[in-house]
Amino acid sequence: MSNSHVLLKDSLGKKVLLLGNEAIARGILEAGISVVTTYPGTPASEIGDSISEIAKDTGLYMEYSTNEIVATEVAAGAANCGIRALTAMKHVGLNVAADLVMTLAYAGVRGGYVIVTADDPECYSSQNEQDNRYYALLSSLPCLEPSNAQEAKDMTISAIEISEKLELPVLLRTTTRVSHTRGPVTYGRTIKPHLKGEFIRDVKRFVMVPAHSRPKHSVLLKKFEMAKEVSENSPYNKIVQNGKSMEIALISSSSAYNYAVEAADMLGLDVSILKLGMTHPLPEKMIGKFLKKHAKAIVVEELEPYLEMQIKAIAKDYAPNIEIYGKMSKPCFPREGEFSTRIVATGLAEITGKKVSIDFGKIDEKYAEVTKDLPRRPPILCAGCPHRASFYVIRKVAGERALYSTDIGCYALGIAPPLNVGDIMTCMGASIGTAEGISKATNANTFAIIGDSTFFHAGIPGLINAVYNNHKIVVAVLDNLATAMTGHQPHPGTGMTGMRSPTEKISIEKVAEGCGVRFVKVVDPFNVKEAETVLKEALRFDGPSVIVFRAPCTLIVVRERRRKGAELLACKINEKCTDCMACIKVLGCPALIVEEGKVGINEALCSACGLCVSVCPYKAIECVKIR
């Protein structure tokens, strides 16, 4: 591996293979963006993570903020001192930041400011598949939508320029396919970060009391008119192909554009194609003129009919007789899930009466036959995961009758059998408040299960509410000292910053005490006996209680051990094993295997956490050195 980071390579003008998110990170360097903030979330995480890797070398400032709204506040604050800034988040992160963003749009920003929202059609790693282009519509902010890695980089730079021109934050909206596809990217020159800003006082602009907000709303609408001009002239909105017959117009953006081009090619369609890269505000005149020349328009977009709805409105003025196909009155494409060339080709075939040359039905049939009994392989908690130990203890003490309000993180995987911990889960931080409502309504033993990063992100107001309104719930904070699910980013409890500098470790137990919780205990989940005792006490306690189950994420522990060349341990089954399957039945650890009716341990996976040692009734498992 060469010493220099791929993003810092001296490859001016050369093509480099970059992940869409890395391309955005490279765009950050080429745009001279100097403050980057984020809260991790798939599929956005690699933007912040790669900037964190190089921040010190480049002189820009990077932070993992407590949550998305704080991230937005920090970056927008800096932008309002004339600094170029960017915040990256996953789509649902923008829900958290929305309160700020909606009003920030009124005041605008002085330095360029880009908000990256990475949407997740198909919910590959999310709780919903909301289409954040609607936030552009809602806030009146400009929005750019790249369709590949090169555009992701280029649009990051353009977004900063548009932002500075209009003095408005700009949304850069990717999808999982754009963020997580590697493609060739040509490097341009980088600009040295510029971190010295100045806050010029302007109370009427920045203090959004009603008397100031009203005129600023008009200012926003004026800027919106200017943004329309930018969109009309944007190089990202272009007719890439004129059909021979000028009968059918295809309009598309983002990854859907790639599928549309491939599908049209596959069907041999004679179509004109308009590619939209700046999708808010839309280039009304350009679209209007384009529609006028055609008899039919087909809008190809993933998720919501965001373009279609607006294109219909444009058509009313420019081409009232044109037929518009998409998802609304002439539906040909699904409104949910990720697209593919197949889905788009099928829709286009339906509209045009062409035949798809591939017999997908036959492939499906054969595939269904071959995979009929194929076992699934969903993600599960790693072997040695401390969450497994916590769930084992919780389930053992509180049992089937207790109710478990869980939260988002690796520990959400606890819903799988045999652990079965998790009855309700909605969005980050919701576990605590939800548990309060459930406990009020049922009087059952009610748990809130929440991770450490999630606790800091959005758990604290819920906890204060439990104390304030005296909700008798048990809050189990599963503290693995990392934001594990999204790639082990640091958080306020880890003592490490995004600049890779040591910092104050914020203690979850002290926060809980500070919130007024009178029962706060810290346990090691692998110390099963002690954890059980504490949990029983908590259930007897009259009032909200907090138990911090603290043990580091096993992946981090194992990685550290390997890096240091320390000896590796694994568990081993001895001759006392009766193959009673107790360990297999209660733990669901992937390192525990059954071969020919005999229990065994996969040494490569086992990290010697010792949980199965505690569970085995015959003392038939022990930890041994393997290397």
Partner 1 sequence: MREFNIVLAGVGGQGILLAAEVLGTAAIKEGLNVQVSEIHGMAQRGGAVVSHVRIGEKAMSATILEGHANVLLGFEPIETLRNLKFASEKTTVIMNEERITPPELTAKQIKYPSMEEIMEKIHCFTKKVIVLDAARLAKKAGNILTENVVLIGALAAAEKLPLKNSSIIEALRELVPAKHLNVNVKAFKFGYETVKKGQD
Ligand X SMILES: Cc1ncc(C[n+]2csc(CCOP(=O)(O)OP(=O)(O)O)c2C)c(N)n1
The answer to whether residue 446 forms part of the interface with partner 1 (CB under 8 A) is no
Residue 274: CB minimum distance to partner 1, A: 16
- Residues 6 or more apart from 146 whose CB is under 8 A from it? 20, 152, 154, 155, 172, 174, 178, 254, 277
CB 124 within 8 A of CB 176: yes
Residue 407: CB minimum distance to ligand X, A: 7
Question: Which of 80, 483 has the CB closer to ligand X?
Answer: 483
Interface residue list for ligand X (CB under 6 A): 39-41, 68, 90, 92-93, 96, 408-411, 428, 451-454, 480, 482-486
| End-to-end Cα separation, the chain, in angstroms | 26
Could you tell me which residues are beta bridge partners of residue 600? 593
Please work out the total of residues on this chain that contact partner 1, with binding judged by CB under 8 A: 63
Residue 291: CB minimum distance to ligand SF4, A: 50
Which amino acid belongs to residue 246?
A: M
CA 172/CA 179 separation, integer angstroms: 11
CB 276 within 8 A of CB 282: yes
Tokens of 378: 């969903």
Which amino acid belongs to residue 251?
A: I
Residue 623: CB minimum distance to partner 1, A: 21
The answer to whether residue 420 forms part of the interface with partner 1 (CB under 8 A) is no
CB 284 within 8 A of CB 314: yes
Residue 383: CB minimum distance to ligand SF4, A: 8
The answer to whether residue 93 forms part of the interface with partner 1 (CB under 8 A) is no
Closest CA to 442 of 470, 414, 401, 407: 401
- For residue 171, report the phi and psi dihedrals to the nearest 5 degrees: -90, 135
Question: Which of 217, 488 has the CB closer to partner 1?
Answer: 488
The answer to whether residue 604 forms part of the interface with partner 1 (CB under 8 A) is yes
The answer to whether residue 367 forms part of the interface with partner 1 (CB under 8 A) is yes
Peptide bond connecting 281 to the previous residue in cis, omega within 30 degrees of 0: yes
Question: Which of 80, 181 has the CB closer to partner 1?
Answer: 181
Sign of the CA dihedral with 227 first, then 146, 274, and 355 last = negative
Which amino acid belongs to residue 462?
A: G
The answer to whether residue 300 forms part of the interface with partner 1 (CB under 8 A) is no
Rg (CA), the chain: 27
Q: Which partner in ligand X, partner 1, ligand SF4, none is near 40 (CB below 5 to 8 A by kind)?
A: ligand X
Strands, E, within 14-149: which ranges?
A: 15-19, 35-38, 61-64, 85-90, 113-119, 143-144
The answer to whether residue 337 forms part of the interface with partner 1 (CB under 8 A) is no
Residue 549: CB minimum distance to ligand X, A: 11
CA 376/CA 37 separation, integer angstroms: 37
Question: Which of 500, 559 has the CB closer to ligand SF4?
Answer: 559
3-state secondary structure of 86: strand
In this chain, which residue has its C-beta nearest to ligand X?
451
CB 161 within 8 A of CB 112: yes
Binding mask 175-214 for partner 1 (x = CB under 8 A): -xx--xxxxx------------------------------
Tell the burial category of 3 from Cβ atoms under 10 Å away from its Cβ (0-12, 13-18, 19+): exposed
CA 352/CA 262 separation, integer angstroms: 16
Residue 477: CB minimum distance to ligand SF4, A: 13
Kindly identify the residues of this chain, within the stretch 44-63, that bind partner 1 according to CB under 8 A.
45-46
Q: Which partner in ligand X, partner 1, ligand SF4, none is near 374 (CB below 5 to 8 A by kind)?
A: partner 1
Residues in the chain: 627
Interface residue list for ligand SF4 (CB under 6 A): 381-382, 385, 387, 410, 480, 484, 553-555
The answer to whether residue 370 forms part of the interface with partner 1 (CB under 8 A) is yes
Query: Angle CA(299)–CA(92)–CA(462) in degrees, nearest 5?
Result: 155
Q: Which partner in partner 1, ligand SF4, ligand X, none is near 554 (CB below 5 to 8 A by kind)?
A: ligand SF4
Q: Which partner in ligand X, partner 1, ligand SF4, none is near 123 (CB below 5 to 8 A by kind)?
A: none
Question: Which of 301, 407 has the CB closer to ligand X?
Answer: 407
Question: Which of 40, 283 has the CB closer to ligand X?
Answer: 40
Could you tell me which residues are beta bridge partners of residue 253? 276
Q: Which residues bind partner 1 (CB under 8 A)?
A: 1-2, 15-17, 19, 42-43, 45-46, 124-125, 148, 176-177, 180-184, 255, 258-259, 261-262, 265, 340-342, 358, 360, 363-364, 366-367, 369-371, 374-382, 410, 413, 417-418, 485-486, 555, 581, 584, 588, 590, 592-594, 597, 604
